Amino acid sequence: AAQTLMIDRQQRGLREAVAGQGVSSGPAPSYVRRASPARAIHDAEHTMSLPGRLVRAEGQAATGDIAADEAYDYLGATYRLYHDIYERDSIDGAGLPLTGSVHYGNDYDNAFWNGRQMVFGDGDGEVMNRFTIAVDIIGHELTHGVIDHESGLVYQGQPGALNESICDVFGALVKQHLLKQTAQQADWLVGAGLFTGKVKARALRSMAEPGTAYDDPVLGKDPQPAHMKDFVATRQDNGGVHINSGIPNRAFHLAATAIQGPAWETAGRVWYDTVCDRRLRQDADFLAFAQLSVENAARRFGADSAAHKAVGAAWNTVGVTP
């Protein structure tokens, strides 16, 4: 019951923040073009055929279907981070419509990017809630599309775990930007609110302390490593892409909290520069990304700046030595 209350409070905070994001303090001068997303939310009506029936196009009023309206609002919040902070107009940088489908399948316990659109399950209701409940999950899935349009990091082994980590990073930044939280204030959890109160789970993953998000008889224990020495060699899950992402996730958390302030302005900018860096190859490993990120920190914030030092130190702490 206590956890349900906590989740309710968190959801209310997110809803209020979304309402606030649409409100500006006055009319923008006419020469300021505030680009806007082109969202199209569909209802898969518990089937697996996509995209399903269009239920809310850009500019249309709320549907009353909480999953469809969350998808609409949180795709909007994700668009705002990429556009307002990084000056990127949607997934492809050229205004690509944001297509999302809710009510995918039956009791479906996942969300994904299928190469063209985002898809959200309802969860089984026992262990997991609907996947639109967490704004960072929506930011995560959209970021898979961004990566596909940039380096195209392959979804296998270290580049795959890097791909997963970058999605967690920008998912976390969407949430922090929406809630106006500094790095110190953020919870650094991925998918808080996703688990029901029936399981002992705070979230899917913890970026601050990988391996501590859940410990439950049904779910088992969060398997994420926090350091390179505990890197998990496995053939499951494309070589552990959702497990080893803990290592670069923690590097980002360490850099952002060492620098302090809004992470999207500091470590987030360095990570975004690196995501878009033409030198980042599709088979990049942790070390390759780390080296480019340190270089980009120096380029953007100055050699020996706080940011430059923090990024290098963060990678060192997780056992990746650029």
| Shortest spacing between CB 123 and ligand ASN, in angstroms | 12
112 binds, among Zn ion, ligand ASN, none (CB under 5 to 8 A by kind): ligand ASN
| Shortest spacing between CB 258 and ligand ASN, in angstroms | 28
| Shortest spacing between CB 303 and ligand ASN, in angstroms | 36
d(CA 188, CA 175): 10
Interface pattern 156-195 for ligand ASN (x via CB under 6 A): --------x-------------------------------
Strands 118-121 and 98-104, bridge-based pairing: parallel
The owner of tokens 């959200």 is: 120
Q: Which is nearer to ligand ASN, 166 or 270 (CB)?
A: 166
- Total interface residues for ligand ASN by CB under 6 A: 6
110 binds, among Zn ion, ligand ASN, none (CB under 5 to 8 A by kind): ligand ASN
Piece of 64-72, 107-115, 253-261, 293-301 that binds ligand ASN (CB under 6 A): 107-115
Residues 85-144 close enough to bind Zn ion by CB under 5 A: none
The secondary structure of 109-154 as a DSSP string is --EEE-SS-EEEE---SSSB--GGG-HHHHHHHHHHHHHHHTT---
d(CA 276, CA 46): 36
User: Which of 81, 134, 167, 174 is in the footprint of Zn ion by CB under 5 A?
Assistant: 167
**Structural contact between residues 134 and 194, judged by C-beta atoms closer than 8 angstroms:** yes
Catalytic site residue from 70, 83, 140, 141: 141
Piece of 67-75, 121-129, 162-170, 243-251 that binds Zn ion (CB under 5 A): 162-170
Give yes or no: 140 in active site.
Answer: no
Query: Which regions of the chain does DSSP assign to beta strands (E)?
Result: 39-43, 53-57, 98-104, 111-113, 118-121, 189-190, 205-206, 215-216, 220-221
| Shortest spacing between CB 320 and ligand ASN, in angstroms | 22
User: Which of 110, 184, 236, 321 is in the footprint of ligand ASN by CB under 6 A?
Assistant: 110
| Structure tokens given for 203 | 């979230």
| Structure tokens given for 147 | 């990566």
Q: What is the largest CA-CA distance in the chain?
A: 58
| Shortest spacing between CB 110 and ligand ASN, in angstroms | 5
Amino acid in position 1? A
d(CA 274, CA 262): 18
User: Which of 112, 265, 300, 316 is in the footprint of ligand ASN by CB under 6 A?
Assistant: 112
User: Annotated catalytic sites, by residue?
Assistant: 141, 242
For ligand ASN, the binding residues (CB under 6 A) are 110-112, 140-141, 164
